[in-house]
A and B are shown apart, each in its own frame.
Chain A
């Protein structure tokens, strides 16, 4: 035994009590200008002209459209990717096949690609002179600079979030879980519906929230594929950007404040939910 016995030996991962003022102070000092003050600034500027002004700016048709369109796209993206992502996760987790690893990397790629690049690539594919787009023009179809294009971009960009939330949960469900259902007599669909899906609830929930939040704030890809058309394809982040550019700071801030609040609530639920699961 060492001679330094009087010094209390902390276990690894043990927490220290007391003496917290300095380190906590440093963290706050860093976070204040980095995160907290910018957030506060939005609300300060948003309400500079008073509550009446705030409401007035928000109720302009453009602002209304942008917010509604953003929410609609976010809902649609979350719903579609919930299905696509879960199915992909199921396939990746349950089947062993040639090219499994490359596919696993491929489906996570959208996280790594800058969103502006995603926008560009979509334009090159679906745009009027794009690889596929040029065949659609004669048919009167034009996904780019239209709501469909925005949805496509959001699906692309947020795809990995659903996968990342669901696949680990699926991986953790042991294979005998499904086998048990099969021997009991459940077919594949029944097994998925009654045995797998309920076990995935947590992962699905956080995946949907993450997807929704990211879709709500998506900018880089959207600005390219939407054409930023007022009252047609302008999402809330695009509206904020456009109003700022036009020197209309109050309008930009009002919508920004709403977006920030929404995001805050989503994350609040997400944190609460994961904390409850973790216990």
Chain B
């Protein structure tokens, strides 16, 4: 029997434990949900069993909608991590319990009980009590009990969590055989990747309530799409290099980027290198063999079949290592290599050869658009060209003041989202204070940009409140924030203000990236005090900024304006030369009190009259 989970969400208090998960398990399949503890995988399983009701979404078992059915009516067998064997019943009575409930005759019960005891390898132990069984035996009883009444679906919640390694391996083997023999559709939850690899026909990796990737074990290991899956499953090093001419540059080496990985010139591209994909050579390999240069062995651990070797590579220009994290003070790349234990690796500065690698997908940018369901919709209007330009996924969030208005707001948002031409957007509604709820949403499911409406809008979030909402958000979230104003169209001119929110080039990079995706022209504005325009430090700074923009292939010019305060310079520039969006920096949200830069940020929010992109320090 198949299991279909669609868009299921579960929240506890303010925490989203399971976040819009969709999943399909085929008849007879053994599906493994893999994730760290607290990732929400058990909650998902319990929702399939009916022990927890979802807040949103639907669950079908064998085509029947069971979303709100009681566990008794779902025809599932569930094995708990703590087994929960009924203490006062013998093993046989435990196993027969489901049959007794269903009014099966005694003789038949007895027969089926014996059959199951044999199936799980506990023949002859029917008269024992829980206290007379070992952990492994209890686990087998729990399995037999869950299978006795031939449920359509078997659900196992960390079934081997509390057992020692050897028993685990035995039980895994028996579970695999039993599942195959019975052909029962199974979902198993575990945090143990070895278990997932060994048992799963397919594996779904869960992180912070979201189902990241689903695939066969080997494909998931060899070709993960996301960084989390790449590093959660198995060992390996992830390096980041720049994209040049459809290849990623790793120092002396450039690797082709496969056509199915969308990429832009200058993008940062992540390359996963598994330990067994690296070879250490004593002699220099031929020129056509991908080589990272000569390394130096810094550590070796013997672990049975392989010798885990850590090699320090010479400094690679423009390459950064993201996983595993480098120890403090280490500046070079440290590559993990698996050397077969029987072979002796070359000791003296071996040549590091890549035999295989995998290029991870660029993460899809996520846009959070905040709309209030009435009045003008500058945020929604700006969201469409932005989403198209950056090829992002859009979530539209509404915040209702109280429960009564929640449903009405949801309907209004759905209509407005359709009207704004964003049919694929997800609509979410939260309850409470707008700024707080937007910040909470951002914490729970990180977005790359948050867009809120601002400016001349007659509405609750509008003219009177919006500058304040914008300011509150700047204080609270560490994500680039766009305040959409007026009736925005696709931005064609971007004004990047560099003197604001020094130091940090995050605003230049974020603004440049956006300009490039939008195909917009950029102006780099430097505000200087009267008579200080020729300041050499400012010059260098501007030149660097222009270089950054050139690297991003953005058509740009720069402008230096003398004024008493930065805001005057910005307003003068906008007056002389209209722009669609102003980019300013901001201090990170946890910095208390308004810093100098934030003072300017606030003034720009209030006075510029165009849309503003606020880039918090360190967010880009």
Contacts and interface: CB of A to CB of B under 8 A. Distances in A.
Contacts of A186: 72, 97, 101
Contacts of B100: 194
Which of A174, A184, A201: most chain B CB closer than 10 A? Answer: A184
Interface stretch (B82-90, B289-297, B373-381): B82-90
A279 to B, nearest CB: 12
Contact of A182 (B72, B82, B142, B146): B72
A198 B84 contact: no
A190 interface: yes
A141 interface: no
A201 B87 CA distance: 12
Interface in A164-194: 174, 176-177, 179-187, 190, 194
A26 B155 CA distance: 63
B77 interface: yes
B101 A184 contact: yes
Interface in B75-108: 76-78, 80, 82, 84, 86-89, 97-98, 100-102
Contacts of A195: 86
A179 B84 contact: yes
B145 interface: yes
Given A190-B101, A201-B88, A183 B82 contact: no
A268 to B, nearest CB: 25
Nearest to B102: A185
A199 interface: yes
A138 B285 CA distance: 111
A195 B100 CA distance: 13
Contacts of B80: 176, 179-180
B88 A182 contact: no
Given A177-B86, A190-B101, A184 B70 contact: no
A70 to B, nearest CB: 34
Contacts of B31: none
Which of A174, A180, A187, A190: most chain B CB closer than 10 A? Answer: A180
Contacts of A184: 77, 97-98, 101, 145-146, 149
A176 B72 contact: no
Given A190-B101, A198-B88, A174 B82 contact: yes
A49 B472 CA distance: 94
Contact of A176 (B84, B88, B89, B102): B84
Interface in A185-221: 185-187, 190, 194-195, 198-199, 201
Interface in B138-181: 142, 145-146, 149, 155
Contacts of A183: 49-51, 71-72, 74, 76-78, 146, 155
A76 B77 CA distance: 42
A176 B82 CA distance: 8
What is the size category of the interface that chain B forms with chain A?
20 to 34
A179 B84 CA distance: 9
Contacts of B50: 182-183
Contacts of A198: 86, 88-89
A262 to B, nearest CB: 30
A198 B94 CA distance: 13
B98 A177 contact: no
A182 to B, nearest CB: 4
A183 B71 CA distance: 5
Contact of B84 (A180, A185, A187, A194): A180
Contacts of B86: 177, 180-181, 195, 198-199
B529 to A, nearest CB: 62
Contacts of B76: 183
Contacts of B101: 184-186, 190
Which of B72, B80, B149: most chain A CB closer than 10 A? Answer: B72
Contact of B78 (A180, A190, A199): A180
Given A184-B149, A198-B88, A179 B97 contact: no
Contacts of B102: 185
Interface string A234-272: 000000000000000000000000000000000000000
Contacts of B88: 198-199, 201
A137 B49 CA distance: 56
Interface string B59-80: 0000000000011101011101
Nearest to B75: A185
Nearest to B77: A183
Nearest to B72: A185
A199 B87 contact: yes
A48 B142 CA distance: 65
Contacts of A180: 78, 80, 84, 86, 142, 145
B390 to A, nearest CB: 45
Given A174-B84, A184-B97, A190-B101, A179 B72 contact: no
Contacts of A174: 82, 84
Contacts of B77: 183-184
Which of B78, B145, B149: most chain A CB closer than 10 A? Answer: B78
A186 B98 CA distance: 7
Contacts of A181: 86, 97
A184 B76 CA distance: 7
B51 A179 contact: yes
B149 A185 contact: yes
A28 B332 CA distance: 80
A201 B89 CA distance: 13
Interface string A56-98: 0000000000000000000000000000000000000000000
Contacts of B89: 198
B172 to A, nearest CB: 22
B51 A182 contact: yes
A184 B73 CA distance: 10
A185 B98 contact: yes
B91 to A, nearest CB: 14
Contacts of A190: 101
B51 A177 contact: no
Nearest to A182: B71
Nearest to A184: B98
A187 B70 CA distance: 9
Given A176-B84, A177-B86, A185-B98, 11 more contacts: A180-B80, A180-B142, A182-B51, A183-B76, A183-B78, A184-B101, A184-B149, A186-B97, A190-B101, A198-B88, A199-B88
Nearest 10 CB-CB pairings of A with B:
A183-B78, A198-B88, A180-B84, A184-B98, A182-B71, A176-B84, A176-B80, A183-B71, A185-B101, A186-B101
24 contacts: A176-B84, A179-B51, A179-B80, A179-B84, A180-B78, A180-B145, A181-B86, A181-B97, A183-B49, A183-B50, A183-B51, A183-B71, A183-B76, A183-B155, A184-B101, A184-B145, A184-B146, A185-B98, A187-B72, A194-B97, A194-B100, A198-B86, A199-B88, A201-B88
Interface of B: 49-51, 70-72, 74, 76-78, 80, 82, 84, 86-89, 97-98, 100-102, 142, 145-146, 149, 155
Interface of A: 174, 176-177, 179-187, 190, 194-195, 198-199, 201
